[in-house]
Structure 1
Amino acid sequence: MHSHNYRIPEPFKHQVFVLIGNSASAVDISRDIAGHAKEVHVAGSSNAADTFIKQPGYSNLWMHSMIDRVHEDGSVVFQNGKTILVDVIMHCTGYKYHYPFLETNGSVTVDDNRVGTLYKDVFPPALAPYLSFIGIPSQVSPFRLFELQSKWISGVSSGRIILPSKEDMMKDIKYFYATVEAQGIPKRYTHRTQFEYNDWLASQCGCSETEQWRKEMYLTTGVRKRAHPETYRDEWEDHHLVSQAYHDFSLYTLTCNM
């Protein structure tokens, strides 16, 4: 989520906020709030224990290490030793996968936020193709990914696309899990995937791979967010990529009208 337009209630306009989290939602929400609140402090578990940085472009926004403890009087103590008297603590820590409405006899489980066992994050082999998931991957650019997942599921459901055998799907899953473990990636980050996965889905559906300009736009935005967090949403240097996108869109339109 990247476009947050929060209306700060009048009583909050002179209050102190702490946001827990250091990803896209925390970045965007903290900057929206900073235009109204007295102070905004962002605590991230990925920050070093001594982190205490005023964010460029803001006089009231700081980045901290993680929270060490919170007292009943509302004071928050960070790992960097700073103590702040806080009015609001907001969690921007993502979400946990939870499917209490599914009865699968163990075919689908959640272990440290890994949803398993799923072939390519979509099909549980024991229940494929009758059960499938759209939207499991996290921390991705979602729209194209979810579109391709939907097309793949539709193709499988119609019989146009044939899944591997249950045994082969399980072999693929076990190999993938072993690769994740060998790379030292925590289990809870199993579902982080992006363009390589998109291109695999596209190949299954007979669609084109992700355009190079789209990849560059995505990656450039990430670089600018880290280098210029105060302006990355408002200033761009990708006009050459936009022209490439317009060219591709014109070809798509032409093809659709033929």
Structure 2
Amino acid sequence: MDAGNGKLVLQSKNVCVVGGGMAGLAAARELRREGHAVTVMEQSGDVGGQWLYDPRTDGADPLGAVVPVRVPSSIYACLRLISPREAMGFSDFQFLPREGDDHDPRRFPGHREVHSYLREFCDAFGLMDAVRFNTRVLRVAAAAAPVTSTAGQWAVRSVRHPGGGTDDDAAHEVVEEVFDAVVVATGHYSQPMLPSGIEGMEEWSRRQLHGHSYRTPEPFRGETVVVVGCGDSGKDIALDLCRVAREVHLAANAFSMEEATTPAMSRVLANHGEVLRLHPRICRLHAEGRVEFADGSSVVADSLIYCTGYRYSFPFLDTGGAVTVEDEVVGPLFEHVFPPSLAPSLSFVGVPRKILVPWFFETQAKWVAQVLSGRRALPPEEEMLRAVEEHYRAREAAGVPRKLTHNIGGVEPLKMYEFGEKYCDFAPLEEWKKELIVSSILSMKDDAETFRDHTDDSEKVQKGLRAWRGLAARPQDG
């Protein structure tokens, strides 16, 4: 907005952020910096989102079939980062190592260190007073029909659970408030995705659960366990189980052993071959407990753990069909952030996958905050829709499966680094950090089990690290 003398007059909006994890905290900080009033609604009793470890699981729904899940966290006890801490962190609040009994100074620390860092971030920037804990959002919808893009306000209905639970009969009364804008920052690692194409899942009589409900290996002591999925969590959980299980069978999403056996997997099998076995994908489950694989082999198992990923789920969001989730695509979203017909009053932070967090969330959040204030303008709705369609067509022409629409780092990593420079003049990530990320990925592909515990940094990375560690000697911005 122009004040008439050429000076830009920024607007202050009343904004609701749904979710108090990494993405939500990034959004809250950037919105406040831009002069907006912020209310963060977080269903847990602390900040951190997925990084807030919860030993509880929903025993009545171990497969996570109910929407939404009752226990949002999917963190298991042994989880460690797969990205180096030196390349993570907010741009002005680095994820520096801290010494002491309550800290984990390793390059790839465990989940508690990440949660501690997020708490420190909140304290440093005074965000805690913006967060309503134990508050679950029930519905986000237009405050008045029909929904319009720039002028529309949003009615947010929420309920507080003082004990941190999700039982409605133990909750306080439902509250509905009106906000100028809503930022959805609920992440995408809570609602389990179960595999398709496995016959007999309904008939199989023994224990089945999704990795979302796995915490420690102890309940599986002495058992024969089949872990479905060879992604990061599948390998982590399989190796964790090797400490106590009688046998662990890892089923890959492949039709042959040749497809399933990677160099990293060969190393893991060599180290744990007395307990761990690799198989191609499961084709059928038999009621008596037998698991049949695509190559005709089978094993009788006590438990099945599906490490088959998570799906986007926004059960509280009512946009009248303007935003949908189909085939793991949230859309239409301009640059994975703004629904063209509802922008800028509705936005999403944290939809992309395979990106550097929380750094990338910070770039998205800064863009959202500046668009809401009027510092930056979005293209016309038609132009944003055209850009979304062009993105879909380009991915399809390149042979990228539709389910990978929001996979940025794994398909177009340069776009991840260019995003902030393009939309909010965000300082580019240092080259030594990019090199460290690439070397870590290559190391993980070579040795998935021990890559976190050895380093082979180039001279450029070592020079960058010396300057980065120097930040520990002086306070960070607050």
Q: TM-score, normalised by structure 2?
A: 0.49
Runs of 4+ aligned structure 1 residues displaced above 6 Å come to 251-257
Deviations 1:159-188 (A, max 9, x none): 222211112111211111110110111111
- Mark the runs of 5 or more structure 1 residues left unpaired by the alignment: none
- SS in structure 2 at match of 1:56: helix
Contact 2:226–2:303, Cα closer than 8 Å, also in 1: yes
Deviations 1:96-136 (A, max 9, x none): 11222222122111121111100011100000011111111
Deviations 1:71-113 (A, max 9, x none): 1121111112221111111111111112222221221111211
1:19 aligns with 2:239: no
- Aligned partner of 1:126 in structure 2 is 341
Aligned-partner residue type, residue 388 of structure 2? I
Aligned-partner residue type, residue 426 of structure 2? C
Aligned-partner residue type, residue 227 of structure 1? D
- Aligned partner of 1:234 in structure 2 is 453
Aligned-partner residue type, residue 58 of structure 1? H
* Partner residue of 1:217 out of 433, 436, 453: 436
- Aligned partner of 2:383 in structure 1 is 168
1:148 aligns with 2:363: yes
- SS in structure 2 at match of 1:247: helix
Q: Which structure 2 residues correspond to residues 22-41 of structure 1 after superposition, within 5 A?
A: 22-41=230-249
* Distance verdict in 2 for CA 1:106–1:7, change over 3 Å: closer
* Partner residue of 1:7 out of 200, 206, 216: 216
- Aligned partner of 2:398 in structure 1 is 183
- Structure that is richer in helix per residue: 1
Q: What RMSD, in angstroms, separates the aligned Cα atoms of the two structures?
A: 2.6
Q: Which has the higher contact order (CA 8 A, sep 6+)?
A: 2
Distance in 2 separating the partners of 1:105 and 1:253: 52
Contact 1:56–1:230, Cα closer than 8 Å, also in 2: no
Q: CA deviation at 1:212?
A: 2.2
Contact 2:355–2:416, Cα closer than 8 Å, also in 1: no
- SS in structure 1 at match of 2:225: strand
Distance in 1 separating the partners of 2:355 and 2:225: 27
- Aligned partner of 1:199 in structure 2 is 417
* Distance verdict in 2 for CA 1:118–1:249, change over 3 Å: farther
- Mark the runs of 5 or more structure 2 residues left unpaired by the alignment: 1-74, 81-109, 112-214
Contact 2:334–2:388, Cα closer than 8 Å, also in 1: yes
Q: CA deviation at 1:256?
A: 6.2
Contact 1:138–1:193, Cα closer than 8 Å, also in 2: yes
Q: TM-score, normalised by structure 1?
A: 0.88
Q: CA deviation at 1:248?
A: 4.6
* Distance verdict in 2 for CA 1:72–1:39, change over 3 Å: same
1:157 aligns with 2:376: no
- Aligned partner of 1:58 in structure 2 is 272
* Distance verdict in 2 for CA 1:242–1:35, change over 3 Å: farther
Contact 1:198–1:210, Cα closer than 8 Å, also in 2: no
Distance in 2 separating the partners of 1:235 and 1:21: 26
Aligned-partner residue type, residue 225 of structure 2? F
Distance in 1 separating the partners of 2:257 and 2:295: 4
Aligned-partner residue type, residue 428 of structure 2? E
1:87 aligns with 2:313: no
Distance in 2 separating the partners of 1:19 and 1:216: 33
Distance in 1 separating the partners of 2:242 and 2:367: 42
- Aligned partner of 1:245 in structure 2 is 465
Instruction: Decide which structure has the larger Cα Rg and report it.
Output: 2
Aligned-residue sequence identity (percent) comes to 33
Task: Indicate the larger mover: 140-149 or 109-118.
Answer: 140-149
Distance in 2 separating the partners of 1:152 and 1:86: 50
Number of aligned residues: 255
